[in-house]
Amino acid sequence: MVVINKAQEMIMATLFVLGCFLQTVQAAKPDDVALAWRPTSPFRDELRDLGVAGLIRDDAEATALVSTDFGNVTVAAPAAVLYPSCPADIAALLLASCARSSPFPVSARGRGHSARGQAAAPNGVVVNMPSLGRLGGSSTASRLSVSVEGQCIDAGGEQLWVDVLRTALAHGLTPRSWTDYLHLTVGGTLSNAGISGQAFRYGPQISNVQELDVITGLGEMVTCSKERHSDLFDAVLGGLGQFGVITRARIQLVPAPTRARWVRLLYTSAAALTGDQERLIDVERGDALSGLMDYVEGTVLADKGLIGSWRSPSPSSSFFGSEPDVAARVAKLAEEAGGVLYCLEGALYYGGAAGGEPDVEKRLETLMRELRYERGFAFVHDVSYMGFLDRVRDGELRLRAAGQWDVPHPWLNLFLPRSRVLDFAAGVFHGIFRRGTTGAMGPVLVYPMNRNRWDSNTSAVFPEEEEVFYTVGILRSAVSDGDLGRLEEQNNDILRFCEEAGIPCVQYLSYYADQAGWEKKHFGPAKWARFVERKRKYDPKAILSRGQRIFTSPLA
């Protein structure tokens, strides 16, 4: 990295930002002009000197929109919101904070889908990342660029994964790893890990990134990769927004399939489900089921049924055939099983680069013969590849129409070692869930991943003691009065159960009340020491993502 002194750094940043700002003014549409007014925030002078004052809003409407996130549990109002026209605007903002004796917090916000304050900047400035694709003459298309020869896509950190997918598919290509919900930003998921049913084969999304453009907490604009500034690269991936703002990611692509055979199979025991899942994800063993599915997940059916949940096709969908008959049979099976069923959900890709229909039929035949699901409870549907990956969108639209999307989401996501997943199922799915029925809606996911597909050099924390670990996502929504309190208490009961039963677990999309919780319960001594060392190097004044309470004041 070229070393320049602070004076040079400030001059260069100012000139760069002024250029971006002038471009923004020249290209502004009438709706954008509302941004160009002088703020009254306490940071006004510093921001005006750096050329970004015209991109700041501190009115009640702007700050209220970013005072909470998808979790809708944590409320932290910022003093202002920055609408950047280019990455240099963000760098200028961070430089302004660094220059103060009391730096103000800064957090990047894409879709605000974090659950517990990662996108919050209490009394500071929230960066509205989608503005990078709208202001300064930019467009979504100009922030997405595919290299067919290199089989990669450069995507702005503010870009949605669904747009990444559409752009890549136009060239017959696709990213390898996904989240279940595609209407999230690239920078947002990469700052956590990005997991779904393809992680068993390709690892999380952070294992499929080739290069990043990052703005550190010091205001430095750095391009990094495994070969160049690798420590920053590793720190940012899974780093919870603590080390820098991702403004561009280069993501690996592979030839794309065109169709998906979407499969759902019901089970009456956790042992049968997890046993089959582990055979499916063991891509190196070579038995009849090894790697046969391209996408492997699972759900627990305790409070709400398979049919009509927000992650499912609608009750009228042909997926379930004659819905009333199926619903009655599923209800009877659940009663016979003691009130809890399990569902193996997955997909077999075909078409395009993934082979033809005869091949998928052969694979499906092997699945139906080898898997230990309840006969008569297999549901198979053929959809486009895009339709399968974007399947949760339909559920979102249904919930929005019913006014049940923007409600509190006290989610609990855990990583568990393989050896204890059945103990967890007995104590939680057949114990705590059955004793404390809340009536709240939302899926409960359970599926395994291979540890060797994760990179321990990144900041992401995951169980490393065993070759396979499970994710359990308890993704509940508080839709009625009293649900929030009951769900949070149930989450606490689950964590207490794990502690008392000696089941080691790591939170994903983590939340702890203070730094001590993060240090002792999440990271552990060795990983915490590395995390602090990286924080001291890239954000020593603890400017970034203070809403999580990992660091709330400058490091010594």
Domains, the chain: 144-255 (3.30.465.10), 259-507 (3.40.462.10)
Confidence of residue 546 (pLDDT cuts 50, 70, 90): very high
Q: Are 81 and 58 in contact (CB under 8 A)?
A: yes
Tokens of 457: 């050099």
Q: How confident is the model at residue 313 (pLDDT cuts 50, 70, 90)?
A: low
Instruction: Evaluate whether 255 touches 173 at the Cβ level (below 8 Å).
Output: yes
Mean per-residue pLDDT, 196-215: 98
Mean pLDDT of 488-516: 95
Which is more confident, 39 or 40? Answer: 40
Question: Over the stretch 136-159, which tens digit does the pLDDT of each residue have?
Answer: 554 455 799 999 999 999 999 999
Arithmetic mean of pLDDT, 388-409: 92
Of 425, 426, 328, the residue nearest 377 (C-alpha): 328
Look at residue 32 and tell me whether its pLDDT is greater than 50: no
DSSP 238: T
Angle at 384 between CA 380 and CA 388, to 5 degrees: 65
Q: Are 320 and 296 in contact (CB under 8 A)?
A: no
DSSP class per residue in 393-429 = HHHHHHHHHTT-SSS----EEEEEEGGGHHHHIIIII
Question: In this structure, are residues 89 and 17 in contact, taking their beta carbons and an 8 Å threshold?
Answer: yes
List the catalytic residues. Answer: 113, 180, 297
pLDDT at 65: 95
Average pLDDT estimate for 300-310: 64
Answer yes or no: is pLDDT of 530 > 60.
yes
Under the banding of pLDDT at 50, 70 and 90, the label for residue 492 is very high
Q: How far apart are CA 257 and CA 235, in angstroms?
A: 33
pLDDT at 510: 87
Separation of alpha carbons 157 and 189, rounded Å: 10
Q: Are 374 and 268 in contact (CB under 8 A)?
A: yes
CA-based nearest residue to 89, from 41, 28, 47, 143: 47
Would you place residue 283 in the very low, low, confident or very high pLDDT band (cuts 50, 70, 90)? confident
| Residue-level pLDDT at 48 | 66
Half-sphere exposure in the Cβ direction for 358 (13 Å, CA): 0
* Confidence at residue 163, expressed as pLDDT on a 0 to 100 scale: 97
Question: Which of 421, 293, 420 lies closest to 345 in space, CA to CA?
Answer: 293
Share the mean pLDDT of the chain: 87
65-74, 78-87, 179-188, 439-448: range with lowest mean pLDDT:
439-448
**Higher-scoring residue by pLDDT: 339, 420:** 420
Q: Measured between alpha carbons, how far is 223 from 119 in angstroms, rounded to an integer?
A: 23
Determine the pLDDT at residue 125. Answer: 95
Q: Bigger pLDDT: 19 or 107?
A: 107
CA atoms within 13 A on the CB side of 6: 5
- Statement: residue 415 has pLDDT above 60: yes
Dist. CA 307–CA 430, nearest whole Å: 21
pLDDT at 81 over 60: yes
Q: Decide if 157 contacts 110 (C-beta within 8 A).
A: yes
Model confidence pLDDT, tens digit, residues 319-332? 555 556 888 888 89
pLDDT value for 133: 79
Q: How far apart are CA 84 and CA 91, in angstroms?
A: 10
pLDDT value, residue 307 = 52
Nearest of 265, 237, 216, 203 to residue 93 by alpha carbon: 216
The pLDDT score that the predictor gives to residue 24 is 39
How far apart are alpha carbons 190 and 185 in whole angstroms? 9
CA atoms of 508 and 471, how far apart (whole Å): 9
State residue 308's pLDDT score: 52
Residue 425 pLDDT exceeds 60: yes
Q: What residues contact residue 19 under an 8 Å CB cut-off, 6+ apart?
A: none
